[in-house]
Structures are given as structure tokens and as C-alpha cells.
Amino acid sequence: MIDAKLILGETSGWIWSLFPNQSYLGRVQLTLRRQLDGSLARLTDDEWTDLRQCLQAYESLLRALFQPDRFNYEQLGNVWTQVHVHAVPRYSRSREWEGITVEDSRWGEHPLPEPPSPLGEAETLLLVTKMREELQRTGI
């Protein structure tokens, strides 16, 4: 369930992709490259290390772009059983992207159910481009 248009980058163990619903500006999904259904507990040591490095790089990227106030991470697997992690930035105040105000209407609460994305497809794809450029520019 990865949309190729939304892929931001890849490491040896993980594929980074922008989550289609951007109600949390900069939300990303990290998907394990090898096929594995179930739990994070079944990751190899190398996959754990790579995931930790991905999360550190993700936080650096988002701080540079939008300065989130907090980061939430989830691994559920209820709808899609392939191991993946949702990286959800949280914002105590609204942020602007391409003239669109993005409000974290569930600040202080669980991010689900997620509100509708304020970004349309064009703005979402532009965000993918901007995030890719920032990743390359900073060498993250």
C-alpha cells in the first residue's frame, strides 16, 4: 500500500513515503522493505538500528521544515499487515504550507480519527518534492 508518487526515499531496511492524508503536516509512513507481517518485535537488529536512524533523520527533516512540537509513532497493522510505522508530527499551533493553513485539531489527543487533509493532490505532490529536496540538501 505504498503510492510510488509519494515515496521520499529508501534505506537498506525501510521505504519512506508521505502519508496521503496530510492533516498532520509532514506525516510519513516507514515501511519495512522485506516482507514481514505482524510485529516490530520480529525486526532484525540491523532493521531496528536502521529504523532508529530513519526516525532521527525524519525528526531533523521536519524540524527544518515545520518545527513540530511533538512526534507520535504508531505501528498498528490492522488494515495492512506489512510491518510499517506511522510518523505523525504534532503541532500546538497552525502551520502554513503553500498558502494553506494546517491545524492540528486533535492536539493533545490521539491523532485518530484523523480529520480530512487540507492539502489537495497538487499540494501533496509539491510537499513530496520539497521534502525530497530537503533530504538531499541536508544529506539526511
Within 10 A of 20 (CB to CB), how many other CB atoms are there?
A: 15
The CATH number of domain 4-138, selected from 3.30.2010.10, 3.30.420.40, 3.40.50.720, 3.30.428.10: 3.30.428.10
Question: Whole-model pTM above 0.85?
Answer: yes
Beta strands in 1-140, from DSSP E residues, in sequence order: 7-10, 14-18, 28-32, 70-74, 84-90, 95-97, 100-102
Within 10 A of 16 (CB to CB), how many other CB atoms are there?
A: 23
pLDDT digits (tens, 9 = 90+) for 70-87: 999 999 888 889 999 999
**Run means of pLDDT, 10 residues per run, the chain, 140 residues:** 93 97 97 94 97 97 97 91 97 95 95 93 97 87
Task: For the chain, give every domain's residue range.
Answer: 4-138
